[in-house]
Amino acid sequence: MAEGQIIVTGASKGIGAAIAGELERRGFSVVALSRSGEAPAGRAVVCDVTNEGDVKRAFGEIAAAGPVAGLVNNAGIHIGGPIASLTTESFNKTIALNTTAVMVAAREAFPFMEKNGGTIVNIGSFFDKLGVPDNLAYCASKAAVAAMTRCMAVEWAKHGIRVMNVAPGYIETDLNRDYLAREKVKAWMASRIPVGAPGKAEDVAKLVGSIFSEQIGFLTGETIYIDGGQGMNH
Ligand SMILES: NC(=O)c1ccc[n+]([C@@H]2O[C@H](COP(=O)([O-])OP(=O)(O)OC[C@H]3O[C@@H](n4cnc5c(N)ncnc54)[C@H](OP(=O)(O)O)[C@@H]3O)[C@@H](O)[C@H]2O)c1
């Protein structure tokens, strides 16, 4: 068993559950956070990461149980729609989970990694540098994740904490299953994604798992895109 616990947010299903499973397979001790408390892999802890008090309580309890070696900020939400009718409430709800909760969780995990170092992986999106119709809130929230990753990386490097942003392209999960099932969308995906189709949660999980397993000391602050080549496809 690798030393220390790794906290994975939004680990009840989708990409987060796949990451928790992959980290366990690699011998890590995983704590799986979600609102529902479902945990296909890892030790379940109920925690709404948009609630600061909940995060402080949960992280305190986790640290009391043993050393904390890492954090995966995966919990996320997608609310689409044209800018002209985007409500401030939808915008703020997206930022609250995709952006503010990433900062809060990293900040609250920091004291537990300050002395012995650790690894933080944020889950961004390849939308972070694209102009996507109907996606203003989501794109903004993920661009901020890439920026925060760089800031955390340079500020915490002296503590032995590496911070990475893993930015997936289309991955079939509950977040988009209905959308990806539409015939028109399928044909568009086949034409736009160089590898031919959306990726799997396991693809993202293997990348995150390798970041934790390989411990490449000189790699920090970067965004790694895992999108089948879509973001760079002209
Ligand atoms: N799927 C894609 O194509 C894709 C592409 C790029 C990036 N991403 C990113 O990858 C991450 C995971 O996406 P996904 O597709 O796996 O989503 P998903 O299937 O909808 O799962 C979201 C997870 O987040 C948890 N969650 C939601 N709100 C939460 C909260 N307030 N506190 C704690 N946990 C919360 C959910 O569990 P509970 O409901 O039990 O709380 C669930 O485990 C997100 O950050 C997303 O933006 C996804």
DSSP codes of every residue in 12-62: SSHHHHHHHHHHHHTT-EEEEEESS---SSSEEEE--TT-HHHHHHHHHHH
Task: Evaluate whether residue 48 is within a structural domain.
Answer: yes
Which pLDDT belongs to residue 2?
A: 66
Of all protein residues, whose CA lies closest to atom 19 belonging to ligand 1? Answer: 14
Which pLDDT belongs to residue 158?
A: 98
Over residues 85-89, the mean pLDDT reads: 98
CB-based contact 44:52 (threshold 8 Å): no
Quote the ligand 1 centre to 73 CA distance (angstroms): 10
Q: What is the CB < 6 Å shell around ligand 1?
A: 9-16, 33-36, 38, 48-50, 74-76, 97, 123, 125, 168, 170-171, 173-176
Higher pLDDT, 143 or 175: 143
Task: Evaluate whether residue 193 is within a structural domain.
Answer: no
Quote the ligand 1 centre to 77 CA distance (angstroms): 6
Task: Evaluate whether residue 27 is within a structural domain.
Answer: yes
Pocket test for ligand 1, best of 33, 35, 100 (most atoms within 8 A of CB): 35
- The sheet carrying 29-34 orders its strands as 43-46, 29-34, 5-9, 68-73, 118-123, 161-168, 223-226
Task: Evaluate whether residue 188 is within a structural domain.
Answer: no
pLDDT digits (tens, 9 = 90+) for 98-139: 999 999 999 999 999 999 999 999 999 999 999 999 999 999
Task: Evaluate whether residue 183 is within a structural domain.
Answer: no
17 dihedral zone (left: phi>0; alpha: psi -120 to 50; beta) = alpha
CB-based contact 146:225 (threshold 8 Å): no
Of all protein residues, whose CA lies closest to atom 7 belonging to ligand 1? Answer: 125
Closest listed residue to residue 93, CA positions, set 50, 39, 142: 50
Q: What is the count of structural domains for the chain?
A: 1
Q: Looking at the CA of residue 15, tell me the nearest atom of ligand 1.
A: 16
User: Considering the chain, what is the average pLDDT of its residues?
Assistant: 97
Place of tokens 């903004």: 140
Which pLDDT belongs to residue 175?
A: 86
Of all protein residues, whose CA lies closest to atom 23 belonging to ligand 1? Answer: 10
Residue 77 pLDDT > 90, yes or no?
A: yes
Which pLDDT belongs to residue 162?
A: 98
Task: Evaluate whether residue 186 is within a structural domain.
Answer: no
Enumerate the H helices of 66-122 as residue ranges.
Answer: 88-95, 101-113
Quote the ligand 1 centre to 48 CA distance (angstroms): 12
CB-based contact 138:168 (threshold 8 Å): no
Quote the ligand 1 centre to 72 CA distance (angstroms): 12
DSSP assignment of 179-204: HHHSHHHHHHHHHHSTTSS-B-HHHH
Over residues 154-169, the mean pLDDT reads: 98
Which CATH number does the domain housing residue 119 bear? 3.40.50.720
Quote the ligand 1 centre to 42 CA distance (angstroms): 16
Q: Looking at the CA of residue 138, tell me the nearest atom of ligand 1.
A: 47
Over residues 52-59, the mean pLDDT reads: 98
Question: Which pTM does this prediction carry?
Answer: 0.98
CB-based contact 191:185 (threshold 8 Å): no
- The residues that bridge with 226 in the sheet, in sequence order, are 168
Task: Evaluate whether residue 192 is within a structural domain.
Answer: no
Over residues 130-155, the mean pLDDT reads: 98
* pLDDT tier at 1, thresholds 50, 70, 90: low
Of all protein residues, whose CA lies closest to atom 31 belonging to ligand 1? Answer: 48
Q: Is the dihedral of CA 177, 179, 183, 184 positive or negative?
A: negative
Task: Evaluate whether residue 107 is within a structural domain.
Answer: yes
User: What range does the domain containing 136 cover?
Assistant: 5-173+200-228
Which residues form the catalytic set?
A: 138
- Give me 11's structure tokens: 């680990």
Beta strand pairing call for 223-226 and 68-73: unpaired
User: 72: part of which helix (H) or strand (E)?
Assistant: strand 68-73
Which pLDDT belongs to residue 3?
A: 85
Q: What percent of the chain has pLDDT over 70?
A: 99
